[in-house]
Amino acid sequence: MRRTLTFTTATAIALALSLPAFAEPQAGGRLNLIIQPEPPSLMMGLVQNGPTQMVAGDIYESLLRYDENLEPQPSLAKSWEVSEDGLTYTFTLQDNVKWHDGEDFDSSDVVFSVDVFLRETHPRLRASLVHVEKIEAPDPSTVVFTLKQPFGPFLGIFEAGTMPMIPQHIYEGTDFANNPMNNTPIGTGPFKFEEWERGSYIHLVKNEDYYMEGKPYLDEVYYQVVPDGASRAVAYETGQVDVLPGGSVENFDVPRITAMDNTCVTDKGWEFFGPHSWMWMNNHEGPMADKNTRKAVMHSLDRQFALDALWNGLGKLATGPVSSSTRFHDSDTPSIDYDPELAKQYLADSSYDGETIRLLPLPYGETWQRWAEATRQNLIETGFDVELVATDVAGWNQRVGEWDFDLAFTYLYQYGDPALGVSRTYVESNIAKGSPWNNVAGYVNPEVDALWQQAAVSASAEERQELYSQIQDTIVDDVPVAWLLELGFPTIYRCNVKDLVTTGIGINDGLRDAWIER
């Protein structure tokens, strides 16, 4: 017996009848967005940083998209089936899909993309593919993934940034990293690459042969490169750009900009990524190796002030390692609330003897610097001696990766499931110098490691929830890092730009739906 997840014409009609009437989308027009910083490349099979995904997510596609509840939606796959034992996933592809150069897209491209290209080039996907026994294309419109054992989050790895489809006819048998076509990316998405004027703009144009009739609505998209934060705000205020993606401007500029006429703001479109901020605490050595010291730090932090004053109320207080938008979040964990008196008690019970605590701000702009200054003041009030250590991005990467800190601000994406974006921060096997994105804190708990492994391969959602709840309770009590906020990155845009955010990754894959009301 199979469980079939698919969208039918009858379902679509019923859904349409249940929704209120809206204006019909209008075709045409140009959309101008800020891209910050300028991406190093648009070849998403090789580069997956944030700016690359934001632009290239409308050039490349994967088999699925995800709504704000992280439920899978059709993309290059129009339907899919999961076997009852959770080992076989069968995808049926959309009809009449073409690459931007006019060649046909079919199941052989999927097998090449996943089993050959991305298995070599994409570390995050490769970690999930260890659960895959084989990938087959029984016919041009069907792809079958067979797993070695059930892997609960498997249906969550099919978004464009994690599994972009790569044209086999261009890359097969080549040196992937040095293929000249990397400079002129070819995908199946709603927009085609047109031009990149380095330091100025990236220009995409409508894919006239897109397989979804009538889409995209926009004729062209310009991603404007404006290095200075104040200048990015001015670019919106003067009408040079229509959209400020999350993080484009300093948070203290947001209230002024959003008060403008014809200006809308949303923090939706980040549910899949679940950007989660915390301070690394160096568990390897020094003051933070003492659990009581770490608890003193945690209860010293006035995170509500940070949310209200620095993030303009956009976001939520974190309750532990798993964001509320991520599957299997459990809010019923030990308290990490601001409690200055409890913080002083923990500090008195700790081995801390007054040494200077080195705190690294995240060098991503004025908002983060102000947050570090407020945190320093919180810690001084508890009884810590704290020094802010200024770095640039390269210096921050190096110091954090080499564990040369006591406390350090950061944030990471969660990718919708603890097995995909959370466990990497806390398992002992992921402790290694040189990277600021693994278990930097040096947290070690073999019992929790075993629970992570068990939860990842369980096919039962109920069992996974029970295991992840145990994990969250234990880790929050151990407090290896100081959790801060589930970050709310406001996307600011002209109100006459419609349907800009329609999925759980927002404008990273949403421009196929966007249109301009005139």
| Claim to verify: residue 41 and residue 125 sit in the same structural domain | no
pLDDT at 302 (0 to 100): 98
| Claim to verify: residue 432 and residue 355 sit in the same structural domain | yes
pLDDT more than 90, % of the chain? 84
Supply the CATH number for residue 231's domain: 3.40.190.10
Evaluate if residue 2 carries a pLDDT over 60.
no
| Claim to verify: residue 253 and residue 296 sit in the same structural domain | no
pLDDT at 48 (0 to 100): 81
Examine residue 476 and state whether it is found in any structural domain, yes or no: yes
Supply the CATH number for residue 139's domain: 3.90.76.10
pLDDT at 372 (0 to 100): 98
207 and 181 in contact (C-beta within 8 Å)? no
pLDDT at 290 (0 to 100): 98
| Claim to verify: residue 255 and residue 345 sit in the same structural domain | no
pLDDT more than 70, % of the chain? 96
Evaluate if residue 22 carries a pLDDT over 80.
no
Evaluate if residue 14 carries a pLDDT over 70.
no
| Claim to verify: residue 88 and residue 125 sit in the same structural domain | yes
Examine residue 137 and state whether it is found in any structural domain, yes or no: yes
| Claim to verify: residue 68 and residue 216 sit in the same structural domain | no
| Claim to verify: residue 297 and residue 195 sit in the same structural domain | no
Closest to 210 measured CA to CA, from 129, 312, 125, 94: 94
d(CA 73, CA 151): 19
Question: Of 460 and 231, which is predicted with more confidence?
Answer: 231
d(CA 364, CA 390): 12
Examine residue 138 and state whether it is found in any structural domain, yes or no: yes
Evaluate if residue 498 carries a pLDDT over 60.
yes
Question: Of 376 and 85, which is predicted with more confidence?
Answer: 376
**Which of 14-23, 346-355, 388-397 is predicted most confidently?**
346-355
| Claim to verify: residue 193 and residue 225 sit in the same structural domain | yes
| Claim to verify: residue 292 and residue 157 sit in the same structural domain | no
pLDDT, tens digit (0-9, with 9 covering 90-100), for 143-188 = 999 999 989 899 999 999 999 999 999 999 999 999 999 999 999 9
pLDDT, tens digit (0-9, with 9 covering 90-100), for 291-322 = 999 999 999 999 999 999 999 888 999 999 99
Beta bridge partners of 385: 356
d(CA 472, CA 358): 27
Supply the CATH number for residue 329's domain: 3.10.105.10
Radius of gyration of the chain, Cα coordinates, nearest whole angstrom:
23
Q: For the packed helices 340-348 and 366-382, what is the interaxial angle rounded to 10 degrees?
A: 60
372 and 409 in contact (C-beta within 8 Å)? yes
What's the whole-model pTM score? Answer: 0.85
d(CA 365, CA 22): 39
69 and 271 in contact (C-beta within 8 Å)? yes
| Claim to verify: residue 378 and residue 281 sit in the same structural domain | yes
pLDDT at 127 (0 to 100): 84
Examine residue 432 and state whether it is found in any structural domain, yes or no: yes
Closest to 38 measured CA to CA, from 51, 49, 19: 51
Q: For the packed helices 340-348 and 291-300, what is the interaxial angle rounded to 10 degrees?
A: 160
d(CA 475, CA 480): 7
Examine residue 356 and state whether it is found in any structural domain, yes or no: yes
Examine residue 180 and state whether it is found in any structural domain, yes or no: no
Q: Which sign does the torsion angle of CA 114, 119, 125, 126 carry?
A: positive
* Domain carrying residue 505: 25-59+189-269+489-518
Which whole number is the average pLDDT over 321-350? 97
Beta bridge partners of 280: 408, 481
Examine residue 416 and state whether it is found in any structural domain, yes or no: yes
Residue 10 binned pLDDT confidence (cut-offs 50, 70, 90): very low
| Claim to verify: residue 164 and residue 196 sit in the same structural domain | no
Examine residue 97 and state whether it is found in any structural domain, yes or no: yes
pLDDT at 207 (0 to 100): 98
| Claim to verify: residue 263 and residue 115 sit in the same structural domain | no
Which whole number is the average pLDDT over 190-197? 98
pLDDT, tens digit (0-9, with 9 covering 90-100), for 197-216 = 999 999 999 999 999 999 99
Which whole number is the average pLDDT over 128-156? 95
> Domain end: 134, 168, 202, which one?
168
**Window from 7-16, 278-287, 296-305, 384-393 with minimum mean pLDDT:** 7-16
Structural domains of the chain, count: 3
75 and 61 in contact (C-beta within 8 Å)? yes
> Domain end: 139, 168, 197, which one?
168
Which amino acid appears at position 107 of this protein?
S
pLDDT at 373 (0 to 100): 98
Closest to 353 measured CA to CA, from 442, 301, 399, 292: 292
Mean pLDDT over each residue of the chain, to the nearest integer: 93
pLDDT at 20 (0 to 100): 41
